[in-house]
Structure 1
Amino acid sequence: MPVRLAHDHDREVGDVPGIDLGVTELQGPPGEAVAGWFDAGIRHVTLIDPVNLAVEDDTASRDAVRRLVLVRELTSHGIGVAWRLLLPVDGGADWRVFCHLYPPAELSPAAGDEMEPLDAWRRSYYIDKCTFRRGPGFVQVRDRRSSRLNLLTIDDPAYLAMLAQVMEGAPIADIDLDIARDFAAEGLVVQVGTMLVWLPYRLRRWPLPSMII
């Protein structure tokens, strides 16, 4: 997967050498790659190809999930990302389920409500909109995509196992569909072709003092 890396959110800032690092190929799991980029001072990433969720076959589904996980991990680390999101034309995926991710440069198709969806996404975006944190034997999800806090605690071993399974994406044929439906009902997973993938990103630092959260 080709991506363009930069040391600054404005990769073309002035004539400062070393800001725009050019195009490279993503190697290994997206989470590990993003952690390495962050430590190396990368603060902006451009996905060359769109995140196309209107897919059906296995290969295209895996590719789309890999790109979506990359955007999720970049958002988790606070790295700016320029990306394009292509949704199924049949309305199989609502843009609102992705609105906790760094806003895309392009959203298609963009039919919506009283406010153009991409503009609404940009206006409503903030860090910690839908995140999770791990504790001893549980995972807690803080979800504000509906404009109110939905606090979910996952401690059932079977559900935690499913969470680990879909973190990087997993074939729908390999998962427990009953648990998957429960996660989907809360907007915690989304189907991408033949795959299912986890949506909340890991909370790495509190955006506000802990006493007022």
Structure 2
Amino acid sequence: MSTPAAPARPGARVIAWRDYDPAVRELDGMSLGDVEVSGPPADAARRLWEVGARRVELPGTLDLTDAPSAVSTVWALCLIRDLTALGVVVDWRLALDAGQTDWRALSHLHPPRTTTGTPDDAGVPGQWRHAHYLGKCLWRRGPGFIQIRDRRWGSLHRFTVREPEFHEAIEALSAGAPRSAVAPAVLADLEEEHLVGSVGGQAWFLPYRVQRWAKEAITL
């Protein structure tokens, strides 16, 4: 009797460069070429950073309406989230489920090159770029708590999470997980605050873990 094949690990082939600037990227030694990445998205993002990637392109379009590709799509969204947290420029394209996902829920991610499924696909990428900044929606871990700071909607929304079941959910969803892996009540609470996104039966935690502060620390 044959042993069933293990499910394929999510991953992607990306194109990476050592610099953000289009002119500089044309210089010798600036291209890192095609890079295969897999494993936990945070680890994949860190490996790209450590080999010198400062601009990463994801070929194709991330389609939030494509339920059969939910696992790979959520993995790629988590990778974009974690690259954004490191300050890496990400070149990607987004197809939303029209009327279901407000693009502002993703506006803390590095802006995509193009969007479809928004009320104004011609204008949204520019609005996204204009309003984007590092630290727009992040979380950090303290002793016994997780703090989330969210400015995607303009004003600051701050959440301090102490309940163990929410910590477990955030841990599970940080790399993407089946919706069924999270207690329904916990998932509903996180979704109500727009802190979890879904593609098909997969869910992921939207805020990125703070990696780099946008400004130097100051002493008051």
TM-score of the superposed pair, with normalisation by structure 2: 0.88
Aligned amino acid, residue 206 of structure 1: W
Q: CA deviation at 1:211?
A: 5.3
- The correspondence for 1:181, drawn from 175, 180, 188, is 188
Q: CA deviation at 1:88?
A: 1.1
- The correspondence for 2:166, drawn from 159, 166, 182, is 159
RMSD over aligned Cα atoms: 2.0
Classify the secondary structure of the residue corresponding to 1:45.
strand
Give yes or no for the alignment of 1:199 onto 2:206: yes
Deviates more, 1:26-35 or 1:153-162: 26-35
The sequence identity of aligned pairs, in percent, is 34
Counterpart of 1:43 in structure 2 is: 54
Contact 2:14–2:37 at 8 Å: present in 1 too?
yes
Q: CA deviation at 1:112?
A: 4.0
Query: Once the two structures are superposed, what CA deviation does each residue of 1:44-80 show, in whole Å capped at 9, x if it has no partner?
Result: 10001221111223xx110110110110011010000
Alignment of 1:1-213 (within 5 A): 1-10=12-21, 13=24, 15-57=26-68, 60-89=69-98, 91-112=99-120, 116-210=123-217
Classify the secondary structure of the residue corresponding to 2:190.
helix
Aligned amino acid, residue 25 of structure 1: E
Contact 2:32–2:53 at 8 Å: present in 1 too?
no
Deviates more, 1:33-42 or 1:119-128: 33-42
Distance 1:210 1:13, change over 3 A: closer
Classify the secondary structure of the residue corresponding to 1:18.
coil
Q: CA deviation at 1:131?
A: 0.6
Distance 1:170 1:27, change over 3 A: closer
In 1, Cα distance between the equivalents of 2:199 and 2:129?
23
Contact 1:50–1:86 at 8 Å: present in 2 too?
yes
Classify the secondary structure of the residue corresponding to 2:215.
coil
Q: CA deviation at 1:174?
A: 2.2
Aligned amino acid, residue 40 of structure 2: P
Distance 1:36 1:211, change over 3 A: same
Q: Which runs of 4+ in 1 moved over 4 A?
A: 209-213
In 2, Cα distance between the equivalents of 1:121 and 1:54?
21
In 2, Cα distance between the equivalents of 1:172 and 1:147?
28
Distance 1:73 1:105, change over 3 A: same
Aligned amino acid, residue 88 of structure 1: D
Distance 1:80 1:15, change over 3 A: closer
Aligned amino acid, residue 33 of structure 1: A
TM-score of the superposed pair, with normalisation by structure 1: 0.91
Classify the secondary structure of the residue corresponding to 1:26.
strand
Contact 2:18–2:25 at 8 Å: present in 1 too?
no
